[in-house]
Amino acid sequence: MKKYLFASLIIGSLAVIGCDRTVSSSEKKTTSSDGSSSSVQQKTVFFLNDTVTTEKESKQTSGQ
């Protein structure tokens, strides 16, 4: 009986946690003539609680 209770708790918790779904993802890289480069990454994620977030990350490196 304990095995079934434990298994149902595990399966139930996985059903509640679920997965987030990436709706869109993009990355743009640019390089200038002096050798420096930059990239911008944007990701939109849909969560199971019906919220949508957009994350934007920028990185720059200098050329030498």
Give the tokens for residue 18: 């679920």
pLDDT at 33: 87
Please state the domain count of the chain: 1
Residue 11 lies in a domain: no
Which 8-state DSSP code applies to residue 16?
H
> How big is the chain, counted in residues?
64
Residue 37 lies inside a defined structural domain of this protein = yes
Please give the Cα distance from 36 to 59 (Å, whole number).
Answer: 11
- 1/51 Cα distance (integer angstroms): 38
pLDDT at 27: 93
Domain that holds residue 53: 20-59
What's the pLDDT band for 58 if we cut at 50, 70, 90? very high
**pLDDT tens-place string over residues 2-54:** 666 666 656 655 445 556 788 899 999 999 888 899 999 999 998 888 889 99
Does 42 reside within a domain? yes
Decide if 53 is inside a domain.
yes
d(CA 27, CA 40): 6
Cβ neighbours, 10 Å, residue 40 = 14
